[in-house]
A and B are shown apart, each in its own frame.
Chain A
Amino acid sequence: MHVPDGFLDAPTSVATGVVAAGVVAVSLRKARAELDDRTAPLAGLVAAFIFATQMLNFPVAGGTSGHLMGGAIAAVLVGPWTGLLATAVVFLVQCLLFADGGITALGTNVLLMGVVTVAVGWGVFRAVQTVLPKTTAMVPIAAGIGAFVSVPVASVAFVGLYAVGGTADIPLDNLTTAMVGVHLLIGVGEGIITFLAVGSVIAVRPDLVHGARRVLAARELEVRTTRAAA
């Protein structure tokens, strides 16, 4: 859910905008290292993909449904910098062309749902990856855990911003409980869907999954010497 105009006060909105612009500027340079001159078309298509995944609702119990935030899955699939760039562009387009999320809240939205979910999703993913065995089967599991953690952390970051620049005096402990409680549930969905989706990409095109590169590089060529079936 996008933060609209007027949810946070003007100084906080401007500050988050400046921070978000800084992070995007850094990731512009770093993404070139991930994609070289393919950056523009590929990051653009990845952004379109993230936009589309946010349109596909999956059913949750009792007639409600949710959709992916997509930060963690983007980080695992195309790398953190490209993922960050793509999510930031998604929010920019949603704000300017779809009136979804306020223009003064653009920095807040990029920071919360882009930077935080990508950074936490990727960080947790890498941390879990170092613990688990280095096989391709473990990549989706690490991705799922990263996605699961990224959502509640983003909601905590939101509460933090709200404590600084919120426009209503809601008791913070109540807000934290409500936000984290709801987002733990959403995180479970995000984690499971990310796990399944990354698994389905790994099964077909493991070379496309950025987060699986080290595993693939470490994999040795296996020559099986059993007799060919007659």
Chain B
Amino acid sequence: MGGPHGHQLHFHGHSRVHRAPAHLKILALLAFMLVVVATPRGWYPLYGGHLAALVTVVLLSRVPPVYLLKRMVVEVPFVFFAILLPFVATGPRTEFLGLTVSESGLHAGAALLAKATLGVLASLTLAATTEPQDLLAGLARLRMPVLLVQIMGFMVRYLEVVTDELRRMRIARESRGFTARNPRHWPVLARSFGALFIRSFERGERVHLAMLSRGYTGKMPT
């Protein structure tokens, strides 16, 4: 079970951004993104300002920009959508790069692209500089219900165990010569889901019993 600290997106470091209290980072992310989302489209200099502020934080965090850029692939589907917008939106037409496109769609697409990119980059920065347990403590300080923090804690703690279980099942399937190629193979995958659910649920029951035997009364010891 060895492996690096933290989670998939975490980048180990000791910068000022890494050391900042997690609850402040979450609030800052939320406030920053609310401002970004509320920025009217067309105010492009202001988007430049947002980006500059974000880049400053990234530089302060000393997380290599390439590390973050590589992980921005989650945004790809929305890039397609943003590129599509000028063609499907209605309203007055305008010329852009030799194509006739909807003017409002063009602006909306550009604004969506800018906002989504800022959002992904800002979220990545938080994820890269904050360890899961700090994040949980931060959420608890922000008065998120204790039970919800606990559920999230268990999810984060067992995420890799469960996904590893799924990976082992895949290796087992493939070592028997199975590759899912078309919908005819769905029953096999669905049985994996069923098995994974039973294993996860039973693991939850075992964890609960183990906790009870260590004196769990509904609150986590701190």
Q: Is A174 an interface residue (CB 8 A)?
A: yes
In the complex, chain B residues 1-31 whose Cβ is within 8 Å of any chain A Cβ: 7-9, 26, 29-30
With A41-B204, A59-B182 already in contact, the answer to whether A6 and B36 are too (CB < 8 A) is yes
**Option from A14, A43, A174, A193 in Cβ contact (under 8 Å) with B88:** A174
Per-position binary interface string of chain A over residues 190-225, scored 1 when its CB falls under 8 Å from any chain B CB and 0 otherwise: 001101111111011100100000000000000000
Task: Using CB atoms, name the residue of chain B closest to A44.
Answer: B154
Q: Is A93 an interface residue (CB 8 A)?
A: yes
Q: Which one, A48-56, A120-128, A152-160, is touching chain B? A: A48-56
Tell me if B's interface is mostly helix, strand, loop or mixed. Answer: helix
Measured between beta carbons, the chain B residues less than 8 angstroms from A103 are 29-30, 33, 119, 122-123
A167 x B116 contact (CB < 8 A) = no
Q: Is B193 an interface residue (CB 8 A)?
A: yes
Q: Is B75 an interface residue (CB 8 A)?
A: yes
Q: How far is the CB of A64 from chain B (nearest CB, A)?
A: 11
A86 x B71 contact (CB < 8 A) = no
Chain A interface size range: 35 or more
Q: How far is the CB of A99 from chain B (nearest CB, A)?
A: 4
Chain A residues within CB distance 8 Å of chain B: 1, 4-7, 9-10, 13-14, 24-25, 28, 32, 37-49, 51-53, 55-56, 58-61, 68, 73, 77-78, 85-86, 89-90, 92-93, 95-100, 102-105, 167-171, 174, 189, 192-193, 195-201, 203-205, 208
Q: 23 pairs across A/B with beta carbons < 8 Å?
A: A5-B115, A6-B111, A7-B112, A10-B34, A37-B218, A41-B211, A42-B201, A47-B154, A49-B201, A55-B166, A56-B189, A59-B181, A93-B159, A97-B127, A102-B37, A167-B108, A168-B85, A168-B105, A168-B108, A169-B105, A197-B194, A203-B194, A205-B198
